[in-house]
Amino acid sequence: MIRIQNLVKTYGAVRALDGLSLEVAPGSVYGFLGPNGAGKTTTMRILSGLARPDAGRAWILEREIGRSGADVRALIGVLPEEPAFYGWMTAREYLRDFAAPLQGIKGAAAAQRTNELLAIVGLAEAADRRLAGFSRGMRQRMGLAQALVHRPPVLLLDEPVSALDPAGRKEVLDLIETLRGEITILLSTHILADVERVCDQVGILAKGRLVVQGQRDELLARYAAPLIEVEAGDGFGGWLDWARRQAYVTSLTQSNHTARLLVKDVHAAQQSLLAALAEQRIPVQRFELIQPSLEDVFLRLTEKEA
């Protein structure tokens, strides 16, 4: 549904995209993941026709973006990070009288599609409220309705929940999940938990390059190393200094009385770490082998790239 080949984009001395290539399968929710400044928004702008690459090519449903006569606007719906509306209009007026006619949908068809969309995004009860009074979460859902008005096969979502509170994030993510399989979604974000929740494909971007892409569970199986979490009481500091020096510990992070260790040999690490805790008479509240998360994979790969 989306294909990108060797995209390059520079802004002065900054190389925002450095030979980016990726593919998005039909019907998937593709998590386009990367730290701030990785090139996610630049890629979205190129795919939506708002920017042109310095080199490389991109296609939506095999129509090449930027090629003469190949208009891809009818194939995509776009939700920017901060959608903007005419605040004096109601939600119904905005969709029926403005957004739908822009896509060639008018009259009774526009009214019917407006009612459908307001129900889909959970704004039917707020249909006749002015948009200026909408909360941030409601505006994001309204932006999603606008992006879906012409039933596009591809949806581009740029940081759709990054500035929302937990309730607003849940609303928007639940809505994205309902679209799975019906539409192909490219979701740009830096929030790892959201990707882990709603995405089935993941591409990790760093410094304008694709570090890795694949099915979410495959990436976890391939790149996630075993992790041990230890929560302990007084005297923990000396044990942490000792643990950092062990050959099987590849990284160690600490937050208050909890330590997280990335290890090479789980069996050897468990025996040695527990024995040292007992020998140093450190009271242990918790010693747990935990399932690595997408965040662990992301940090490992992006740090390696850096």
CA–CA separation, 74 vs 26, rounded Å?
Answer: 17
- What are all long-range contacts of 73-76, with beta carbons under 8 Å and residues at least 24 apart? 73/49, 74/103, 74/150, 74/152, 75/152, 75/153, 75/154, 76/47, 76/48, 76/152, 76/154, 76/155, 76/156
Q: How high is the pLDDT of residue 1? A: 92
Residue 72 has pLDDT above 60, yes or no: yes
CA–CA separation, 146 vs 305, rounded Å?
Answer: 37
Rounded to an integer, the average pLDDT of 73-99 is 94
Q: Cβ neighbours of residue 105 under 8 Å, at least 6 residues apart?
A: 113, 149, 150
H or E stretch covering 150: none
Q: Cβ neighbours of residue 288 under 8 Å, at least 6 residues apart?
A: 228, 229, 230
- The whole-model pTM stands at 0.75
Do 108 and 120 lie in a common domain?
yes
> 6-10, 34-38, 160-164: which has the highest mean pLDDT?
6-10
Structural domain ending residue among the three candidates 202, 221, 240:
221
Contact between 7 and 205 under an 8 Å Cβ cutoff? The reply is: no
Structural domain ending residue among the three candidates 221, 249, 275:
221
CA–CA separation, 159 vs 33, rounded Å?
Answer: 10
Structure tokens at 145: 């309705």
**How many domains, the chain?**
2
Q: How high is the pLDDT of residue 221? A: 65
- What is the DSSP secondary structure assignment for residue 183, as one 8-state letter? B
Give Cα 158 distance to the centre of its chain: 8
Do 205 and 231 lie in a common domain?
no
CA angle 73, 93, 165 (to 5 degrees): 75
Q: Is the dihedral of CA 49, 53, 58, 64 positive or negative?
A: positive
Q: Supply the range of the domain harboring residue 273.
A: 224-305
Do 192 and 152 lie in a common domain?
yes
Do 240 and 208 lie in a common domain?
no
CA–CA separation, 255 vs 55, rounded Å?
Answer: 44
Between 305 and 277, whose confidence is greater?
277
| % of the chain exceeding 90 in pLDDT | 43
CA–CA separation, 289 vs 57, rounded Å?
Answer: 45
Residue found under tokens 């296609």 = 59
Residue 69's pLDDT band (boundaries 50, 70, 90)?
low
Residue 156's pLDDT band (boundaries 50, 70, 90)?
very high
Structural domain ending residue among the three candidates 170, 200, 221:
221
Rounded to an integer, the average pLDDT of 148-158 is 95
Do 54 and 180 lie in a common domain?
yes
Do 137 and 189 lie in a common domain?
yes
CATH code for the domain of 140? 3.40.50.300
CATH code for the domain of 300? 3.30.70.980
Do 56 and 29 lie in a common domain?
yes
Residue 181 has pLDDT above 60, yes or no: yes
Question: Helices in 104-149 by DSSP H: which ranges?
Answer: 107-120, 136-148
Do 182 and 259 lie in a common domain?
no
Residue 191 has pLDDT above 80, yes or no: no
Give Cα 211 distance to the centre of its chain: 15
Do 259 and 199 lie in a common domain?
no
Q: What digits encode the pLDDT tens for the residues 252-276? A: 888 878 888 888 778 888 899 999 9
Do 169 and 296 lie in a common domain?
no
CA–CA separation, 65 vs 294, rounded Å?
Answer: 31
Strand partners, 154: 76, 184
Q: How high is the pLDDT of residue 249? A: 87
Q: How high is the pLDDT of residue 178? A: 87
Q: Which amino acid appears at position 55 of this protein?
A: A
Do 128 and 242 lie in a common domain?
no
Between 77 and 293, whose confidence is greater?
77
Q: How high is the pLDDT of residue 262? A: 81
**Residue 278 burial by Cβ neighbours in a 10 Å radius (0-12, 13-18, 19+):** exposed
Do 139 and 177 lie in a common domain?
yes
